Structure 1
Amino acid sequence: MKKQIIILVIILVSSIGFSQDINGFLNKADVFFKTHVVNGKVAYSEIHKDQSDLNELLKIAEVVSVSKNDAKTYQAFWINAYNLSVIKGIIDNYPTQSPIDNAGFFDKTTYSLAGKNITLNDIEHKLLRAQFNDARFHFVLVCGAVGCPPLINKAYLPSTLDSQLEAQTVKAINGSFINVNAKKKRVQVSQIMEWYKEDFTMNGMDEIDFINKYITTKLEGKYKLSYFPYDWELNKQ
């Protein structure tokens, strides 16, 4: 009986610790994004002057524990961790004109997150895309460039994650992500859709089907699809 009580206490303490870690991280991330992001643009200059909040956030993220069994919490953590790590990568190389001006920005530089030393590409491709078939990730993982979908000024939360994924996808598809010429039946889209074509053509869909799922004015008839060049300029205020 005594042994069972000890085990129960350990489980309860571990659960409380996990809850505090993830909730503390999400709450502080929400404050950080609200403070430093306006209209999808990041105040890198101000963050660079005082990096304490960013460093504190990433310190908390080091010890957060998340499991794929709790998919919403897992996804919310890694989306926020990705976006914060991009900002950290920019700050560590500041001033810079573009994330790709810094060698290994996405595939070599590692971050200590949730007990892992991991690159940005690993977060996107191994922890999210490979685990969940959801093209909407492409509209919330923000790479630090103008060509990315806009960064929101709040954290992604488990309780609101699906609606946030949906809202950002709708915003992108009805915004700068595509250019439609209805008269000529042509549509130009971001190179994201070219690079990750397999994500936008799942379950028998093609790219136009995906667009029509979210666009306000549907693309009726046969449209010719092409891609416009990605803008790698820094998404700074």
Structure 2
Amino acid sequence: MKKVTVFLLLVSIQFGFSQSTTDFFSKADVFFKTYVANGKVKYKEIKKDPASLEALIDMAAGIKVSKSKVSTYQAFYINAYNLAVIKGIVDNYPTKSPLNVKGFFDKTTYTLGGVKTTLNDLENKILRKNFPNEARFHFVLVCAGLGCPPIINTAYKPSTLEAQLQRQTVKALNNSSFIKVKGNKVQISQIFEWYKEDFTRNGSEVDFINKFRKEKIPAKAKVSYYTYNWNLNQI
């Protein structure tokens, strides 16, 4: 009898885990579809009615995800990061830039996955540290500035994560506003300067970029970084 009870308990725990993450991804998808368009966020609308955002943040606080379930773990924290950024802006709206909010990235904390974290720690300790070879994170984590690759109007989900990571990276690195090529000179985002180690593990920054570009950048191109645009990505 005890064995049956323990088995049922384990099944219920696993079912609850599955249901909670599935529900989170589903509701996050509805939220992004409602409040994101053309790579920008409807902060003003969310400020007027923040209930769905607050519910998602509360839900994310109680969900536990295991690193062993890689796609679920990554998808959960990518969505959690983007939602926390939106909450940080909404809590201080109106503002013209996340940099106008003191401690936006390194002081303000959010409880996500049962752990209290800042945006910086979520990006650097929860995602980058655990998955050091996944540089595509930089094209899906959106920091509320126009210099970021655009936020998408759907949630990242375990079943579609690989395709979404690939699509957003290809989209960014083929965007002439993000990678500015003029002959043998190329200007690239400061993202590549700040996180250089992520992009140069197996070659140069140009080598990394060319893996995703249709029109390849010359191997000996002169690379420089253009100034990051921290103006708010708002509609």
Paired residue secondary structure (2:153)? coil
Paired residue secondary structure (1:180)? strand
Give me the whole-angstrom Cα distance separating, in 1, the residues matched to 2:99 and 2:165.
Answer: 26
Does the CA-based 8 Å contact 2:206-2:219 persist in structure 1? no
Q: Structure 1 residue aligned with 2:216, among 203, 215, 218?
A: 218
Query: Which residue does 1:173 correspond to in 2?
Result: 173
Gaps of 5+ in 2: none
1:65-104, Cα deviation, whole Å (9 max, x unpaired): 1000000000000000000000000001010000010111
Give me the whole-angstrom Cα distance separating, in 2, the residues matched to 1:186 and 1:126.
Answer: 34
Give me the whole-angstrom Cα distance separating, in 2, the residues matched to 1:180 and 1:220.
Answer: 10
Query: Which residue does 1:26 correspond to in 2?
Result: 25
Give me the whole-angstrom Cα distance separating, in 1, the residues matched to 2:205 and 2:89.
Answer: 32
Query: Which residue does 2:55 correspond to in 1?
Result: 56
For this pair of structures, how many residues does the alignment match?
233
Query: Which residue does 1:72 correspond to in 2?
Result: 71
Pairwise mapping of residues 39-188 of structure 1 onto structure 2 (< 5 A)? 39-132=38-131, 133-175=133-175, 176-182=177-183, 185-188=184-187
The sequence identity of aligned pairs, in percent, is: 58
Give me the whole-angstrom Cα distance separating, in 1, the residues matched to 2:56 and 2:62.
Answer: 11
Shift of 1:221: 4.4
Query: Which residue does 2:13 correspond to in 1?
Result: 14
Paired residue secondary structure (1:112)? strand
1:22-79, Cα deviation, whole Å (9 max, x unpaired): 0110000000000100010000000000001101111111111100000000000000
Paired residue secondary structure (1:214)? coil
Give me the whole-angstrom Cα distance separating, in 2, the residues matched to 1:50 and 1:213.
Answer: 42
Pairwise mapping of residues 193-208 of structure 1 onto structure 2 (< 5 A)? 193-203=192-202, 205-208=203-206
Gaps of 5+ in 1: none
When the two chains are superposed, the root-mean-square deviation of aligned CA atoms in Å is 0.7
Paired residue secondary structure (1:225)? strand
Give me the whole-angstrom Cα distance separating, in 2, the residues matched to 1:10 and 1:101.
Answer: 48
Q: Which amino acid aligns with 1:84?
A: L
1:177-211, Cα deviation, whole Å (9 max, x unpaired): 210012xx0000000000000000012x1001011
Paired residue secondary structure (2:110)? strand
Q: Which amino acid aligns with 2:124?
A: H
Give me the whole-angstrom Cα distance separating, in 1, the residues matched to 2:166 and 2:10.
Answer: 35
Shift of 1:173: 0.4
Give me the whole-angstrom Cα distance separating, in 2, the residues matched to 1:22 and 1:65.
Answer: 9
Q: Which amino acid aligns with 1:101?
A: N
Shift of 1:220: 2.9
Does the CA-based 8 Å contact 2:142-2:149 persist in structure 1? yes
Paired residue secondary structure (2:144)? coil
Paired residue secondary structure (2:224)? strand
Give me the whole-angstrom Cα distance separating, in 1, the residues matched to 2:95 and 2:76.
Answer: 27
Shift of 1:147: 0.4
